[in-house]
Copies of this chain bind each other. A is one copy, B any other.
Amino acid sequence: MAKSKSIRMKDIADRLGVSVSTVSKAIKGSYDVSAKTREKVMKLVEELDFEPNKQAQSLLQNKSYTLGVVVPDLDNSFFGSIIRGIENIAYQNGYNLIICQSHEDSVRELSDLKSLINHQVDGLILALASSTKDLKYLESLKARNFPYVLIDRGNDDLGVSQVLVDDFTGGMNASKLLFETGCLNVAHLAGPEKLINATEREEGYKQVCEDFGFDPLVVHCEFNEEKSFEKTLQLLQKHPEVDGIFAASDRIAVGAMQAVKSLGKSIPEDVSVIGFSDLAYSKYLEPALTTISQPAGDMGEKAMKVLLETMKQSEDENVNLAEKFVYQTKLIIRNSTKEIIQ
């Protein structure tokens, strides 16, 4: 037996001795169909568990009720939470999500994007890969008035709506806390130089250094524990006076904590550490990690709402409204930093 094709409207129509269009009308509820006919149809629909073929509908309506989401990674609870937020709203509005991971690779990202468009998604939510330089394709999407919104990884040149985090202020708050808790030599384990968010956090740090009259000490590092471990070791060897570390991400903070401990120094007494993102497990580290939390779920929901809005607009006229929503971070004080000095 080959794969059984699913039931079509024609099957129902034949069984009932009516036409396909009558069945279609009955199911839609619109148009005039006699109550009797509708009842008969609906009964059979229930019985056979019939659902109209979305592909055929899409072809006709030029809508697929499917949305694309491209994020750098999924094994990070940050984007996981963002997707959960997106999903909440998408689900309520009858949309399905095709989720792709770019793995921070712009080649993969481009291919994902094309494949998604190719699958006739009605819209996109995208967190740019950190390596993405070439925006030609995204520009062409914009030019074609294809609805998409950027999340977390922003870009002002594209002229599309964005849902972002105020990384600069977050970076400032993190750095400030370190100084306010008595640290005198605060270093920054910054993220990749090409990543806008990382750069913003770094700028926040530098601003605070200036305010406190401290000469910035920045080391760049990838977003993983191993690299961070190495870099921190080097940093502390070269600068044993460092007594506070602002890590650009919780994963970097974890590596830093490991390194600090391996040197026999204690946290936060000898070296205070603060992270960024508040990953799910950060509160279970020892000491529990002080960090900056981002409202990932809210951001996902917002992005999805904005996308819905954008899709509505692009159906009508070219309103071309590119809004920018910037979420504030929250300082989560735990035990990897000292008490604030009054």
Contacts and interface: CB of A to CB of B under 8 A. Distances in A.
User: Copy number in this complex?
Assistant: 2
A96 B96 contact: no
Interface string A205-217: 0000000000000
Given A54-B118, A98-B96, A280-B75, A3 B145 contact: yes
Given A98-B97, A99-B99, A119-B96, A146 B55 contact: no
Contacts of A284: 225, 254, 257-258, 281, 285
Nearest to A117: B51
A97 B96 contact: no
A156 interface: no
Nearest to A3: B314
A5 interface: yes
A147 B2 CA distance: 11
Given A74-B83, A99-B99, A54 B119 contact: yes
Interface in A290-320: 314-318
Nearest to A2: B315
Contacts of A225: 284
Nearest to A261: B286
Contact of A3 (B53, B77, B146, B279): B146
A66 B285 contact: no
Contacts of A314: 2-3
Contacts of A99: 97-99
A327 B286 CA distance: 33
A120 B257 CA distance: 49
Interface stretch (A20-28, A57-65, A126-134): A57-65
A114 interface: yes
Nearest to A288: B258
A81 B318 CA distance: 41
Nearest to A99: B99
Given A77-B75, A284-B225, A285-B284, A5 B145 contact: no
A152 interface: no
A202 interface: no
A328 interface: no
28 contacts: A1-B317, A1-B318, A2-B145, A2-B314, A2-B316, A3-B314, A3-B315, A4-B144, A4-B145, A5-B62, A51-B117, A54-B118, A54-B120, A55-B58, A55-B64, A56-B59, A66-B119, A74-B74, A74-B80, A75-B77, A75-B80, A87-B100, A96-B98, A96-B115, A97-B99, A279-B281, A285-B286, A286-B286
* Pairs A-B, 7 closest by C-beta atoms: A75-B80, A286-B286, A1-B318, A281-B281, A99-B99, A51-B118, A3-B314
Interface of A: 1-6, 49, 51, 53-56, 58-59, 62, 64-66, 74-75, 77, 80-81, 83-84, 87, 96-101, 114-120, 140, 144-147, 225, 254, 257-258, 279-281, 284-286, 314-318
